[in-house]
Amino acid sequence: MKTIIVGGGIGGISSALLASQRGEEVILFEAHENIGGCASWFKRGKFCFDVGATTVSGVDFNQPLGKIFKLIGKSPELTWQDPGIVFHLSNGKKLSYCCGFDAWMLELEKTFPHLTHRPFWEKVYKINSHAWELLDSVKSFPFKSIADFTEIFSRPDLFNLYPYLLVNTEMMLKIHGLHHPEYLELINGILLISAQAHAENVPFLIGAMALAYPRQTYAPQGGMRGFFDFLESACLDKGIRVKNKSRVTMIDNHKVFLNQDSHEYDQLILNVPCWNQAELFQGREKVILEKDLKEPKEAWGAFTLYFGIPSFTNELYQQVHLNHPEVSNYFISFSLPEDESRAPLGWQAVTISTHVNVETWFGVSSHDYRLKKQSIMNIIISDFKERFSIQEVKHLTAGTPKTFQDYTLRKNGYVGGLPFLYGMNPFSILSSETGLEKVFRVGDTIFPGQGLVGVAAGALALDYRIKKSTS
């Protein structure tokens, strides 16, 4: 079985490792000079910046990335962060999301002394741990057929989780007497980075997993470059051919076409966003893939900043709430202070990201585009410098949805994946099956979990589906 994978994001790399484990011969084509996609990196002077993703989670043995590491037989070097994330609220209060339950409750009680936090957060952690068990058992999710759906009966002990799909996270805050504007600002800040939506749009089953996420925040040694170098070398060890600078331009008649040559496949795995898939095909196959996108599928864009600063903090991940009309909040990732592969000694590499609406970045004049870019950059950088008393920044560079479109080829610069929203029909979620024979798909627009861990979960679900169909 010769398997070709299009795209070397975490979805393509995980799928390559799993395909090789199934005994298939694997070639992966990545358009860019590095693998990693939205979790890749670039160099400026002596600094190495993460382009998008900076944190790793879900690395326990029963969790998606942990399972991939088990398969490889080794793990990348990861530093656990406690606190996972530090929050700066718009009222000036600062609180640390500590990993220990009591320490986190103490922080919440100090910041919101008039509210009762424990019952809500006890529920969050209980549901989170059961939800991971559910994900581990119901392997055919997202469901393509009634037969897939019947898998939920394998765990009747977890039936009590399903009602939490019918309430949203905001309702649960109300039930627990926590529906307070400042509390909601904090909760929405966490949900936006982990579930890509706000409390009123996140079913509580997903919300609980998203709210527990900062407890499990790891910084990879060498940043995302270190993380993907590790995965690439694991691919090479398994005989997987990883071809960088190899953009697939067309797929037809069981062949993928690149600029110079073409390659036949028995099985194809697409690790490109759902919006990019149909355009690679012709005729009937194109029509089938376009049909899946009839419903509008919405996602976010990202505005990013990259720069170097004199080293000053061990609190690597911080979220700043401004409640500014142009920048509601921004997420800061500092490189590990002692990591000289990221920044010269005494310096740290910084990546900042904030969610933006992509529509406002396309179809505008280049003058308006530049003004908008400058304006958002000024809001963030002046707040950052003042907040942390920083005088000097090096290599300041900004990224917009256009930048993400250019470098990751993601249509309209949509990033961060498709969220699983409150009220959504679970059968409407795109499945890894495309409807084309032996053509599958993975990535953050397919599996409705978020980030690297969600994409790895999707790759494992596809592996299960392929094994089931061939056994």
What is the rounded CA–CA span in Å between residue 399 and residue 52? 10
3-state SS class at 134: helix
Parallel, antiparallel or unpaired: strands 301-310 and 85-88: unpaired
Contact 449, 203 (CB under 8 A): no
If one asks whether residue 350 binds ligand FAD (CB under 6 A), the answer comes out as: no
Amino acid type, 409: L
Closest to ligand FAD by CB, 157 vs 406, is: 406
What is the rounded CA–CA span in Å between residue 398 and residue 306? 6
Stretch that binds ligand FAD, among 24-32, 151-159, 204-212, 377-385 (CB under 6 A): 24-32
If one asks whether residue 6 binds ligand FAD (CB under 6 A), the answer comes out as: yes
Closest to ligand FAD by CB, 448 vs 451, is: 451
Tokens 């999707």 belong to residue: 458
Nearest to 220 by CA among 35, 405, 54: 54
What is the rounded CA–CA span in Å between residue 127 and residue 131? 6
Stretch that binds ligand FAD, among 28-36, 124-132, 289-297, 379-387 (CB under 6 A): 28-36
How large is the C-alpha radius of gyration of the chain?
22
Among 7, 64, 207, 214, binds ligand FAD (CB under 6 A): 7
Closest to ligand FAD by CB, 2 vs 180, is: 2
If one asks whether residue 229 binds ligand FAD (CB under 6 A), the answer comes out as: no
If one asks whether residue 31 binds ligand FAD (CB under 6 A), the answer comes out as: yes
If one asks whether residue 11 binds ligand FAD (CB under 6 A), the answer comes out as: yes
Amino acid type, 34: N
What is the rounded CA–CA span in Å between residue 87 and residue 96? 6
Stretch that binds ligand FAD, among 1-9, 132-140, 281-289, 359-367 (CB under 6 A): 1-9
What is the rounded CA–CA span in Å between residue 176 and residue 173? 5
Least distance (Å) between residue 443 CB and ligand FAD = 3
Among 410, 419, 420, 431, binds ligand FAD (CB under 6 A): 410
Least distance (Å) between residue 204 CB and ligand FAD = 21
Query: In whole angstroms, how far apart are CA 457 and each of 417, 451, 461?
Result: 13, 10, 6
Stretch that binds ligand FAD, among 49-57, 74-82, 137-145, 357-365 (CB under 6 A): 49-57
Parallel, antiparallel or unpaired: strands 394-399 and 301-310: antiparallel
Contact 177, 183 (CB under 8 A): no
Among 16, 17, 18, 32, binds ligand FAD (CB under 6 A): 32
DSSP state letters, 72-121:
HTS---EEE-SSSEEEE-TTS-EEEE-SSHHHHHHHHHHHSTTS--HHHH
If one asks whether residue 41 binds ligand FAD (CB under 6 A), the answer comes out as: no
If one asks whether residue 54 binds ligand FAD (CB under 6 A), the answer comes out as: yes
If one asks whether residue 52 binds ligand FAD (CB under 6 A), the answer comes out as: yes
Parallel, antiparallel or unpaired: strands 47-50 and 78-80: unpaired
What is the rounded CA–CA span in Å between residue 216 and residue 82? 9
CB atoms inside a 10 Å sphere around CB 151 = 15
If one asks whether residue 452 binds ligand FAD (CB under 6 A), the answer comes out as: yes
Among 20, 169, 353, 434, binds ligand FAD (CB under 6 A): 353
Stretch that binds ligand FAD, among 10-18, 80-88, 182-190, 357-365 (CB under 6 A): 10-18
Contact 191, 202 (CB under 8 A): yes
Stretch that binds ligand FAD, among 87-95, 118-126, 146-154, 403-411 (CB under 6 A): 403-411
Residues 6+ apart with CB under 8 A from 426: 141, 142, 143
Instruction: Please tell me the total number of residues recorded for the chain in this structure.
Output: 471
Size of the site for ligand FAD (CB under 6 A): 38
Stretch that binds ligand FAD, among 119-127, 364-372, 385-393, 410-418 (CB under 6 A): 410-418
If one asks whether residue 451 binds ligand FAD (CB under 6 A), the answer comes out as: yes
Parallel, antiparallel or unpaired: strands 218-220 and 78-80: antiparallel
Least distance (Å) between residue 304 CB and ligand FAD = 5
Site for ligand FAD in 260-279 (CB under 6 A): 271-272, 276
Sign of CA dihedral 433, 434, 435, 438: negative
If one asks whether residue 29 binds ligand FAD (CB under 6 A), the answer comes out as: yes
Site for ligand FAD in 283-322 (CB under 6 A): 302, 304
Stretch that binds ligand FAD, among 17-25, 177-185, 364-372, 413-421 (CB under 6 A): 413-421
Parallel, antiparallel or unpaired: strands 439-441 and 317-321: unpaired
Closest to ligand FAD by CB, 247 vs 373, is: 247
Among 248, 305, 336, 439, binds ligand FAD (CB under 6 A): 248
If one asks whether residue 111 binds ligand FAD (CB under 6 A), the answer comes out as: no
List residues near ligand FAD by CB under 6 A. 6-12, 29-32, 37-39, 52-55, 247-248, 271-272, 276, 302, 304, 353, 408-410, 415-417, 443-444, 451-453, 455
